[in-house]
Chains A and B, each alone.
Chain A
Amino acid sequence: DAGVTQSPTHLIKTRGQQVTLRCSPKSGHDTVSWYQQALGQGPQFIFQYYEEEERQRGNFPDRFSGHQFPNYSSELNVNALLLGDSALYLCASSRLLAGDQETQYFGPGTRLLVL
């Protein structure tokens, strides 16, 4: 049973560019959440997708957008990159059961460096 997978593992971009990160959830999971983990900090919630719609969003600007596909995989897009966007981007998947989210499992992350 494959866990949560993310691609690419590492990425280097320059300021102003755009980036797309990808996530495949654990088998049987229908919900994908994205988190940003800056160096030395805990992960910060960006947003969550369920049934191909953004269900909840954290305190991130509109430059951060996402998408969920019918197979439950997801993309995170960041436009107009800033130096401060350099971080580890983590994807987590879970499933909705009886109206509540079961525990979520994290992927290995994509490390983004903005120069």
Chain B
Amino acid sequence: GEDVEQSLFLSVREGDSSVINCTYTDSSSTYLYWYKQEPGAGLQLLTYIFSNMDMKQDQRLTVLLNKKDKHLSLRIADTQTGDSAIYFCAVGGGGFKTIFGAGTRLFVKA
């Protein structure tokens, strides 16, 4: 069935780049999302990419899509302590419902 897989934890030093990876199975997805969730809060849409794109850059965020391998990544440049949160990869569109991964917990060490 449809599935989205992410690594559970990532730890980086402040100022370094963070790369969070995701793989998915549903090739019909037209939107691929990255959401951020801070403790006790709802989901914040960080960025998204259409399935016909390879890359999207938005300030410190870079999204790369390898459609052949069904691999999505989020790179955060110059990671700050305020970036510590859970990052969810999600795929959707077309079939309307959105499938989420379990989330990657990013720890930023000062």
* Residues of A near any B CB (own CB < 8 A): 31, 33, 35, 40-45, 48, 55-56, 58, 88, 90, 92, 100-101, 103-109
B99 CB-CB contact with A under 8 Å: yes
Q: Identify the stretch in B53-61, B62-70, B88-96 within 8 Å (CB) of chain A at 4 or more residues.
A: B88-96
A106 adjacent to B42 (CB under 8 Å): yes
Instruction: From B35, B45, B95, B98, name the one whose CB has the most chain A CB atoms within 10 angstroms.
Output: B98
Contact partner of A104 among B44, B95, B98, B102, CB < 8 A?
B98
Majority secondary structure of chain A interface residues (helix, strand, loop or mixed): strand
Q: Which residues of A lie under 8 Å from residue B43 when comparing CB positions?
A: 43, 90, 106
- 7 A-B pairs besides A33-B98, A35-B100, A40-B102 with CB distance below 8 A are A31-B96, A45-B99, A56-B95, A88-B42, A90-B42, A101-B94, A108-B42
Contact partner of B92 among A101, A105, A109, CB < 8 A?
A101
Q: Which residues of B lie under 8 Å from residue A45 when comparing CB positions?
A: 97-99
Query: What 4 A-B pairs are tightest by C-beta distance, nearest first?
Result: A42-B100, A108-B42, A106-B43, A45-B97
| Closest-CB distance, B104 to chain A (whole angstroms) | 10
CA distance A31 to B93 in the complex (A): 13
Q: Which residues of A lie under 8 Å from residue B48 when comparing CB positions?
A: 103
Contact partner of A100 among B30, B88, B102, CB < 8 A?
B30
Q: Which residues of A lie under 8 Å from residue B92 when comparing CB positions?
A: 101, 104
CA distance A4 to B97 in the complex (A): 17
